[in-house]
Amino acid sequence: MNGSSKFYRTKIPVVRMVVVMKNLFTIRAFHKSLISLSSSTRHFFCSSSSSASTFAIKNVTKSNFESALNDLRLYVKDADFVAVDLEMTGVTSAPWRESFELDRFDIQYLKVKDSAEKFAAVQFGVCPFRWEPHRQSFVAHPHNFYLFPRQEIKGDDTSYEFLCQTTSIDFLAKYQFDFNLCIREGVSYLSRSQEKEALGRLNARYKDRLLDSSSCWREGVDTKLVRVADILFSERLKNKIAEWHDGLLGDRNGASQTWKTSNDSKQQLKTIFFKMRPALDLTGFTSHQLRLIQLKELKDCLCKEAEMKIKAAIGFRHVIDLLSSEKKLIVGHNSFLDIAHIYRKFIGPLPSTAKEYVISIQKFFPYIVDTKVLLNASTVCQKISKKSSTSLSKAFALLCPQIASGVKTSGLADKRLVKVEVQVDNKRSLNWNSGAKHEAGYDAFMTGCVFAQACSHLGVDFTLNPSSVDLSHHEKLQEYINLLYLSWINGDIIDLKTGERKADSICSKGFKAHHSKILFSNTVLLWAFPAKLKASEIRECFCKVFGSSSITFIYHVDKTAVFIQFSKQELVSDFLVLKETLERSNDPISVLHPLSKVLQGGRTRAASYEVYKQICSSTISKVFFADQAEAVGIEWNAKLSKPVLEVERQVDFEASENQLYTDTRNETEIVSGIDPPLYMHSPTDELDSLCPAEAQMSK
């Protein structure tokens, strides 16, 4: 660390510089043996202190990551499936970002995307399961990785920041999550795109430095001819460094001694350690000389060094790369959000649409199965779960009682129960129960157990095959593979192969086909209306204007916004136009108008459902929807000005006719001019001033 800072501060008068030796394997080897030493002492300690079935889960942090990764490689290679689970610092960045029944398919994805982009994953549970035919049981290797998005490489201007949802942090605290361990010792990571970017930046920098120095040549000594003195200097230095290098390899003990040049007392080459390697500390050279040294001797070396740093920063992504390259069946529980986090953290930025996203995710994880889908979709499993809650711990207790509570069931029932043996380091147990609910490693283990048991209920017979079963291609499971709940509330299932919503065939069981009734084109979003106005009052106002049967329902987004669904599509535009008219005229009629109660205060905004999508896709997250819409509004003002102008013109025309209530036919004609149903009241004044001109032109 010391060395690097010396290197970067080349502008101080006395220039010090560090020449790094390329590779010194002896030190590395020593370092590695240190790690294995420490891990073996831990084994010893654990085995002496733990009893048969309650040994601790394998917690992985910075210090034991290398060794754990090496072990995990073998486990995953042999595994039949790998269960995963994540703990995050939050789920929704604002109350209105929660999943609503009124969220269309594309909006559900946008909400998940927002969550995966803003929050951090702090714990990652990986649990490979392997069927052991001679034991007639599964062997599970639960791993609990602590993650922390530390910035390991420099040069990235954007800071590493993440959002914390206060209630989620409180929830983690309730289950004794160790924040200290996470922040101090958590494993960091670099996504594929981050790595690519960093390497790109590195290349650019070294190219740039070359250009930079060459341009300096041009400016300074107007030719590319190197002065004789320079050549002599660099040759002399090369010799010295070679000498130093040889001397160092010859005599290991002399690493820390000062090694002075004989003829010049000001210029010093001092052996120091730079990142566990012997290095030279050069003192007393001019910056021009340094540039020469750097160009001739260091460029490649430094570049390699930086590259190594980037490679080392990949960290936990090695686990994801492992899961991806082995193409194992990934098992999760209600895992759409988890998978989105995996994509965002370890692959790259999330695509803007669900379709692009699923196509991309399938490249990395071709087989994903979700136990929540399995439990709700298969009739067999539903019978067993007796339609009770399919939360992970409930399902686990119900399907795997022998593991969940350690109860030995009678012989007959026992036969149907899949045995799962847990192995942590060298200890094994058939009824292991760490009891740490909402710990990613344990949750992954539970998910895997539930999956194994559900497979057995579906008729997958593990015992038949002498070796392991190919679950990814098992006919009994094909129906469920690559289906995930996009939103549990709506019961919407997304098919990862197509990116489409799964047709109702298997998913709608247990759900009222309620959401099919939602007509998004009939829906209007209303926000920033007078505070404390209740949905029933709003309905009353609307019914007075558009008729008692005009409103299908009113749904609160939060206290500042509601969805209003009209019975007829044309009422949407009728309302928007009417609202505009009322706001533009100050005559007593508009004050007495039934809608004035809703429009009171002049801040009330309304828009079609498409605007809701725009608001959801923004990266901003204000707590209240009205504030959010206002903040996002800045962005769309420009885009929407055109349709707004058109409407304004029509409104002008209408206002001149002094009509507040026009018959429906007339209004449909008027509004047909606006084709995408993007429309909102724009508060800017200049639109008004432009309007008459527009209107005249049209006449």
Partner 1 sequence: MLLQRRLLCTQVPKRSIHPTHHQNSNLNNKKWAIKQVTKSNFAETLEEIKTHIFNSDFIAVSLQKTGAFSSPWQKVLPFDTAEVAYLKAKYAAERFQVLQFAVCPFSVKSSKIIAHPYNFHLFPRDELKMGMPSYSFFCQSSYLTAMAQEGFDFNACIYDGISYLSRAQELAAKDRTGNPLPRSYMKPSQSPTVYSVADSMFVDRIKSRIKIWKRTCQDSEKKTEDDLISTLRKIVSGGEVFGSRPSLSIDICSERQVQLILETLQEFTDLVPLLVPAKKELQLMEEEHNMQVRGFREVVDLISTSQKPVVAHNAINEFAFIHSKFIAPLPSTVDEFRSSLCSVFSHIVDVNHLMREIGPLNKVNNLPAAILYLKRRFTRPLHMEIPQHIDGDEVRVHGRDVLRISELFAKLCLILRIVPESPEADYSTSSSTLECYANVFNPCFISSSDLLDDDVNISTEKTRRISVANLVFLWGFRGMMSARKLKSLLKGSHEVFSGEIDVRLADRNCAIVVFWAPGFAERFLKVMNSGGTNCEPIKDMISEGLRAACYRTYKRVCELSIWEPSLADALEKALEEASDLPEANSEEELPAICWDNDELTNLDDL
Complete DSSP assignment for 498-540: T-SBPPHHHH-TTS-GGGGG--GGGEEEEESPPTT--HHHHHH
Query: In terms of CB distance, is 173 or 242 closer to partner 1?
Result: 173
Distance of closest approach, residue 229 Cβ to partner 1, in angstroms = 25
Distance of closest approach, residue 162 Cβ to partner 1, in angstroms = 6
Query: In terms of CB distance, is 8 or 661 closer to partner 1?
Result: 8
Distance of closest approach, residue 69 Cβ to partner 1, in angstroms = 22
Query: In terms of CB distance, is 381 or 644 closer to partner 1?
Result: 644
Match 């549990």 to its residue by tokens.
Answer: 488
**Residue 95 sits in the site that holds partner 1 (CB under 8 A):** yes
Distance of closest approach, residue 634 Cβ to partner 1, in angstroms = 6
CA 440: distance to chain centroid? Answer: 16
C-beta neighbour count of 544 within 10 angstroms: 14
Q: Which stretch binds partner 1 (CB under 8 A): 207-215, 456-464, 597-605, 654-662?
A: 207-215
Show the binding pattern over residues 305-334: x = contacts partner 1 (CB under 8 A), - = does not.
------------------------------
Q: Which stretch binds partner 1 (CB under 8 A): 128-136, 180-188, 254-262, 509-517?
A: 180-188
Under 8 Å between Cβ of 87 and 126: no
Complete DSSP assignment for 333-386: SS-HHHHHHHIIIII-SPPSSHHHHHHHHHHH-S-EEEHHHHHHH-HHHHHHHT
Distance of closest approach, residue 205 Cβ to partner 1, in angstroms = 7
Considering only CA atoms, which of 72, 68, 66, 132 is closest in space to residue 326? 72
Distance of closest approach, residue 661 Cβ to partner 1, in angstroms = 34
Distance of closest approach, residue 296 Cβ to partner 1, in angstroms = 23
Query: In terms of CB distance, is 152 or 297 closer to partner 1?
Result: 152
CA 409: distance to chain centroid? Answer: 42
Find the binder of partner 1 among 34, 74, 183, 210 (CB under 8 A). 183
Distance of closest approach, residue 172 Cβ to partner 1, in angstroms = 8
Query: In terms of CB distance, is 543 or 631 closer to partner 1?
Result: 631
Give how many residues touch partner 1 by CB under 8 A: 44
**Residue 363 sits in the site that holds partner 1 (CB under 8 A):** no
Which ranges in 516-624 belong to alpha helices (H)? 535-546, 570-584, 588-592, 596-599, 609-617
Q: Taking CB under 8 A as the criterion, which residues in 208-247 touch partner 1?
A: 208, 211-212
Show the binding pattern over residues 114-143: x = contacts partner 1 (CB under 8 A), - = does not.
------x-----------------------
Under 8 Å between Cβ of 375 and 385: yes
Query: In terms of CB distance, is 382 or 637 closer to partner 1?
Result: 637
d(CA 160, CA 282): 35
Distance of closest approach, residue 68 Cβ to partner 1, in angstroms = 22
Between CA 126 and CA 133, with CA 129 as vertex, the angle to 5 degrees is 170
Contacting residues for 165 by C-beta, under 8 A, at least 6 apart: 89, 90, 91, 92, 93, 119
Query: In terms of CB distance, is 10 or 70 closer to partner 1?
Result: 10
Query: In terms of CB distance, is 589 or 623 closer to partner 1?
Result: 623
Distance of closest approach, residue 641 Cβ to partner 1, in angstroms = 7
d(CA 3, CA 215): 28
Considering only CA atoms, which of 695, 577, 680 is closest in space to residue 638? 680
Q: Taking CB under 8 A as the criterion, which residues in 372-431 touch partner 1?
A: none
Query: In terms of CB distance, is 225 or 531 closer to partner 1?
Result: 531
Q: Which two tokens stand for residue 531?
A: 């505070």
Q: What length does the chain have?
A: 699
Considering only CA atoms, which of 323, 418, 322, 337 is closest in space to residue 367? 323
Element (H, E) at 281: strand 277-285
Distance of closest approach, residue 177 Cβ to partner 1, in angstroms = 8
d(CA 29, CA 482): 44
CA dihedral 160, 163, 166, 170 (to 10 degrees): -50
CA 26: distance to chain centroid? Answer: 40
Show the binding pattern over residues 144-173: x = contacts partner 1 (CB under 8 A), - = does not.
----xxxx-----xxxxxxxxxxx-xx--x
Residue 415, CA atoms < 13 Å, CB-side half-sphere: 2
**Residue 204 sits in the site that holds partner 1 (CB under 8 A):** yes
Find the binder of partner 1 among 103, 114, 178, 652 (CB under 8 A). 178
Query: In terms of CB distance, is 39 or 89 closer to partner 1?
Result: 89
492 secondary structure, DSSP code: E
Using CB atoms within 10 A of its CB, is residue 414 exposed (0-12), middle (13-18) or buried (19+)?
Answer: exposed
Distance of closest approach, residue 627 Cβ to partner 1, in angstroms = 10
Under 8 Å between Cβ of 546 and 574: yes
Query: In terms of CB distance, is 165 or 472 closer to partner 1?
Result: 165
**Residue 184 sits in the site that holds partner 1 (CB under 8 A):** yes
**Residue 686 sits in the site that holds partner 1 (CB under 8 A):** yes
Under 8 Å between Cβ of 330 and 365: yes
Using CB atoms within 10 A of its CB, is residue 315 exposed (0-12), middle (13-18) or buried (19+)?
Answer: buried
Query: In terms of CB distance, is 43 or 184 closer to partner 1?
Result: 184
Distance of closest approach, residue 631 Cβ to partner 1, in angstroms = 7
Q: Max Cα separation, the chain?
A: 103
Distance of closest approach, residue 272 Cβ to partner 1, in angstroms = 24
d(CA 483, CA 504): 13
Query: In terms of CB distance, is 574 or 648 closer to partner 1?
Result: 648
Show the binding pattern over residues 621-650: x = contacts partner 1 (CB under 8 A), - = does not.
x-x-------x--x--xx--x---------
Find the binder of partner 1 among 93, 194, 294, 608 (CB under 8 A). 93
**Residue 63 sits in the site that holds partner 1 (CB under 8 A):** no
Under 8 Å between Cβ of 87 and 121: yes
Query: In terms of CB distance, is 398 or 616 closer to partner 1?
Result: 616
Q: Which stretch binds partner 1 (CB under 8 A): 87-95, 256-264, 568-576, 656-664?
A: 87-95
**Residue 179 sits in the site that holds partner 1 (CB under 8 A):** yes
Query: In terms of CB distance, is 569 or 637 closer to partner 1?
Result: 637
**Residue 660 sits in the site that holds partner 1 (CB under 8 A):** no
Distance of closest approach, residue 39 Cβ to partner 1, in angstroms = 23
**Residue 491 sits in the site that holds partner 1 (CB under 8 A):** no
- Cα-only R_g, the chain: 33
Distance of closest approach, residue 94 Cβ to partner 1, in angstroms = 7
d(CA 444, CA 205): 42
Distance of closest approach, residue 11 Cβ to partner 1, in angstroms = 7
Q: What angle, 0 to 180 degrees and rounded to 10, lies between the N-to-C axes of helices 570-584 and 535-546?
A: 90
Binding footprint of partner 1 on the chain (CB under 8 A): 11, 89-90, 93-95, 120, 148-151, 157-167, 169-170, 173, 178-180, 183-184, 204-205, 208, 211-212, 621, 623, 631, 634, 637-638, 641, 684, 686
